[in-house]
A and B are shown apart, each in its own frame.
Chain A
Amino acid sequence: MRSPAQDLLETPPYGLAQAEKDAMLSRALTALTRHHHEHCETYRHIVDRVFGGLDRSRSGKLTDMPFLPVSLFKTHELKSVPDSEVIKVLTSSGTSGQSVSRVYLDAETARVQSTVLVKIVQHFLGKDRLPMVILDHAGVVRERKSHSARGAGILGMAQFGRRPFYALREDMSLDEQGLLDYLAAAQGGKILLFGFTFMVWSCFVQALESHGLKLDLSDAVLVHTGGWKRMKDLAVGPKEFRERLQALTGIRSVINFYGMAEQVGGVYFENDLHFLHAPIYSDVVIRDPVTLAPLPDGEVGLIQVLSSLPVSYPGHSILTEDLGVIRGADAAELNMKGRYFEMMGRVPESELRGCSDTFQPVKAAS
């Protein structure tokens, strides 16, 4: 199947007002739901056994689309193309660390994914490839075995920079001299910094603070991603994160983004209001964690992510275990149209504990 997102590649990534987006995504997601129902047996079972088949999704309303919980990508093989067409398998640490999600990409999905990512990133960074400082150590991408979400994330972003410099040593200490030399060579021109939020904080901000070092990054852009859980443990919120960075480096442009390996195309960069903004290829629905009912703007619930991209695996509608709240859409003060939201952290892990998982099969009625 041709990815429905192919039709969007001529449109600017934030160029559709929400009403137009809704109509377009409704068509795309209805088609994808039908496609995966036909081609992925496990997906079909779930749609039939949990959502009562395709009938409800025929309304076309985004909130009526069946969804899969994100953890299911860790426990089940979810694939809508034959093995021979799979060209890449993405893995992620997913939600709870132990098992990994497996995401199967065919040529079509991989191609659209990289095109879409370029469109989104270029909206923020422009078309020139900037000198790039990676706030991590080079080993993360060198060790093929541990090709984690972290390594994949770095490689994904590295295509938008040039002459990548890894600012951390293997022991996660900051290579200050190397960094100063790199910045000197860039001669105050615009540079790109990239890192995972917690490491930017603990290995960069705190290292600079403890060494009393200040840098001039007034013309740089920092892009960072990764959960806020460990930052929450340190009681550091997004605002303090930005302010402390700015105090140390003079950096004005700090952009967080939210995304997950399980959903290609679902990449949400921060807008100028510091909310996460849905591009035209994707959107979010917020659901009550208990009743699963869609919630109005302003109410906190589980984030369901929708994407018009994936044709090789049924990841077009995923219920995450992240909490979020929709903050608005089509704001006049932004040069970006569409809906935006705020991430509020993760649902706490269930403390249900006790008995065994013993498997004791028996026939029911005959």
Chain B
Amino acid sequence: MIIDGEFHPMTDALATRVRQLAPVRPGDGLPAFLGAAISRHETPFSERRRAIVGELSARFLKDPWLRRDPASVAVGYWMRPAAIAQLQAAFERRLAAEPATVRVPVGRVFHVAPANVDTLFVYSWVLSYLCGNANVVRVSQQPNEAVQAMLGAIDAVAKEHADLADSNRFVTYEHDDEVTAAFSEWCTHRILWGGNETIAALRPLPLNPHASERVFGSKFSYAVVNLDRYRAAKPEERAKLAAAFFNDLFWFDQMACSSPHVVFWVGGEPGWQEATAEFEDRLQAEVERKRYLPSSANAVHRLVHAFGVAADSDVAVGLAHPGFIGIRIAESEVVDKRICGGGLIRHARIHHLDALAEFASDQDQTVTHYGFERDALNRLAAGIGARGVDRIVPIGEALSFQVNWDGFDLIDDLTRRVTVQASPAERARD
């Protein structure tokens, strides 16, 4: 099979080490798919592909398992036709702003999805598919129920729409550099959704010389709360904030890149202990309302972590709430970026948002906020953004997927600009 003038390296023998999860078509070999995929790309945001994504969205939202899983519902909702129409409108505004270029798909995209945020592969894939690309998506070796249900839906839709089956493969395989190298040589864009270890292991594998790459390393995220505004807020507003924070905290077991691990309470000393206690009581009420119960394994994991923190630093550990562990960090103590997960929050007080400039670093991703005006947030972005932080969003929005991720525009990554200059004669006529 010839690609870019070279043989592509996925042999039949190598393909036996890859398990194709969806779309499943008997007798349809991976080498043949990869070869044929060269000609499978399509105009970005084509009507056909929008319709297929819409159909998938409907299936996700109807699936008996997925509809009970809030993170999966969020995926289905994010890809519903009305939301895709907005993405398309934004894309068309870009086109209008660049009259001298034609946007084409980047071509063939190889996605390596993370294990900790299982449904992320859908966001990555949907954007790439809508941009007109052919795709190979490597998911974790033990797909959980949500992933299995999603792959089942993709498989079902692919039975009715040849384009979906012809241009996409969802696969898994053991860590195998030869297989990864083969996909890497095939693709024209590679996306590694972290974490750091995966990136360190996969990044050295060479890409096709014409390919580009985007990697998303492990990230650290935190929240900022305006202490005075919180204390002045009405009970209903505080309850709403707790509900919003619940989602940020517990989706993906607090292991997503954008899950908050520290809450910085910004303001003067009086009342911050009371405010954090009140905040935790409301969060626990939300835990009970949602009937969320951590697994024994996670409960033990975070307990051990909390005792370790107490042994090493000046803190007060709260074990009173079954839903989570709350740790108050003493004023003089340093705040580190250790990640526990499974429902462990550390509270720290700072005088002013400016103090975060010292805390921010390359690995920071999302800062969720409550009680700050746009001006203050803009100053924060300008101050700490240069050191890492990519998103500053309201509490409750931590896990919302955005096309602009870790500071990079995924639509830009997934398309290519072809510059078109008309002949001098034609330009003269215009």
A interface with B by C-beta (< 8 Å): 42, 45-46, 49-50, 68-69, 71-72, 75-76, 289-292, 302, 319, 321, 323, 347-366
In the complex, whether B8 has a CB less than 8 A from a CB of chain A is no
Interface residues of B in 287-319 (CB under 8 A from A): 293-301, 303-304, 306-308, 310-311, 314-317, 319
Establish whether residues A349 and B297, one from each chain, have CB atoms under 8 Å apart when the complex forms. yes
Q: Complex Cα distance A360/B314, Å?
A: 17
Hey, which chain B residues are within 8 Å of A366, CB to CB?
A: 331-332, 351
Q: Complex Cα distance A359/B255, Å?
A: 17
CB-based A-B contact count at 8 angstroms: 144
Hey, which chain B residues are within 8 Å of A357, CB to CB?
A: 338-339
Establish whether residues B307 and A359, one from each chain, have CB atoms under 8 Å apart when the complex forms. no
Q: Would A359 and B308 be within 8 Å (CB), given that A289-B299, A354-B117 are in contact?
A: no
* Main secondary structure on A side of the interface with B: loop
12 new A-B pairs (CB below 8 Å) besides A72-B308, A353-B116, A356-B217?
A49-B310, A50-B307, A69-B307, A302-B296, A350-B301, A352-B116, A354-B218, A355-B219, A360-B220, A360-B361, A362-B359, A365-B348
Pick the residue among B219, B300, B358 that contacts A347 (CB under 8 A). B300
Pick the residue among B194, B300, B351 that contacts A350 (CB under 8 A). B300
Establish whether residues B319 and A361, one from each chain, have CB atoms under 8 Å apart when the complex forms. no
Instruction: Report A260 CB to chain B, min CB distance, Å.
Output: 15
Establish whether residues B195 and A71, one from each chain, have CB atoms under 8 Å apart when the complex forms. no
Establish whether residues A42 and B297, one from each chain, have CB atoms under 8 Å apart when the complex forms. no
Establish whether residues A75 and B319, one from each chain, have CB atoms under 8 Å apart when the complex forms. no
Q: Would A365 and B355 be within 8 Å (CB), given that A347-B300, A354-B117 are in contact?
A: yes
In the complex, whether B71 has a CB less than 8 A from a CB of chain A is no
Rank and list the top 9 A-B pairs by shortest CB-CB distance, nearest first. A354-B116, A350-B301, A355-B218, A289-B296, A354-B255, A356-B218, A352-B341, A49-B310, A362-B359
Q: Would A353 and B255 be within 8 Å (CB), given that A290-B294, A359-B336 are in contact?
A: yes
Q: Complex Cα distance A49/B346, Å?
A: 14
Hey, which chain A residues are within 8 Å of B338, CB to CB?
A: 357, 359
Pick the residue among A46, A347, A361, A365 that contacts B296 (CB under 8 A). A347
In the complex, whether B271 has a CB less than 8 A from a CB of chain A is no
Establish whether residues A321 and B300, one from each chain, have CB atoms under 8 Å apart when the complex forms. yes
In the complex, whether B329 has a CB less than 8 A from a CB of chain A is yes
Hey, which chain A residues are within 8 Å of B311, CB to CB?
A: 42, 45-46, 72, 75-76
Establish whether residues A72 and B304, one from each chain, have CB atoms under 8 Å apart when the complex forms. yes
Hey, which chain B residues are within 8 Å of A75, CB to CB?
A: 308, 311
Q: Complex Cα distance A46/B338, Å?
A: 19
Establish whether residues B299 and A290, one from each chain, have CB atoms under 8 Å apart when the complex forms. yes
Establish whether residues A354 and B300, one from each chain, have CB atoms under 8 Å apart when the complex forms. no
B interface with A by C-beta (< 8 Å): 114-117, 194-196, 217-220, 253-257, 293-301, 303-304, 306-308, 310-311, 314-317, 319, 322, 329-342, 348-351, 355, 358-359, 361, 363
Hey, which chain B residues are within 8 Å of A46, CB to CB?
A: 307, 310-311
Hey, which chain A residues are within 8 Å of B303, CB to CB?
A: 69, 292, 319
Q: Complex Cα distance A275/B113, Å?
A: 47
Q: Complex Cα distance A347/B298, Å?
A: 10
The residue of chain B having its C-beta at the shortest distance from the C-beta of A78 within the complex is B311
Establish whether residues B334 and A50, one from each chain, have CB atoms under 8 Å apart when the complex forms. no
Q: Complex Cα distance A356/B339, Å?
A: 7
10 contacts between A and B (CB under 8 A): A71-B304, A290-B294, A319-B303, A354-B255, A355-B339, A358-B337, A360-B361, A361-B336, A363-B335, A364-B350
The residue of chain B having its C-beta at the shortest distance from the C-beta of A74 within the complex is B304
Instruction: Report A80 CB to chain B, min CB distance, Å.
Output: 14
Q: Complex Cα distance A135/B112, Å?
A: 48
Hey, which chain B residues are within 8 Å of A360, CB to CB?
A: 220, 336-337, 359, 361, 363
Q: Would A365 and B310 be within 8 Å (CB), given that A354-B218, A358-B363 are in contact?
A: no
Instruction: Report B200 CB to chain A, min CB distance, Å.
Output: 11
Hey, which chain B residues are within 8 Å of A351, CB to CB?
A: 297
Establish whether residues A289 and B116, one from each chain, have CB atoms under 8 Å apart when the complex forms. no
Hey, which chain A residues are within 8 Å of B319, CB to CB?
A: 50, 292
The residue of chain B having its C-beta at the shortest distance from the C-beta of A52 within the complex is B316
Q: Complex Cα distance A72/B317, Å?
A: 16
Pick the residue among A49, A352, A356, A361 that contacts B301 (CB under 8 A). A352
Hey, which chain A residues are within 8 Å of B196, CB to CB?
A: 355-356
Hey, which chain A residues are within 8 Å of B341, CB to CB?
A: 352, 354
Establish whether residues A365 and B293, one from each chain, have CB atoms under 8 Å apart when the complex forms. no
Instruction: Report A64 CB to chain B, min CB distance, Å.
Output: 13
Instruction: Report B339 CB to chain A, min CB distance, Å.
Output: 5
Hey, which chain A residues are within 8 Å of B314, CB to CB?
A: 49
Pick the residue among B219, B257, B322, B335 that contacts A362 (CB under 8 A). B335
Q: Complex Cα distance A64/B82, Å?
A: 57
Establish whether residues B331 and A355, one from each chain, have CB atoms under 8 Å apart when the complex forms. no
Establish whether residues B307 and A352, one from each chain, have CB atoms under 8 Å apart when the complex forms. no
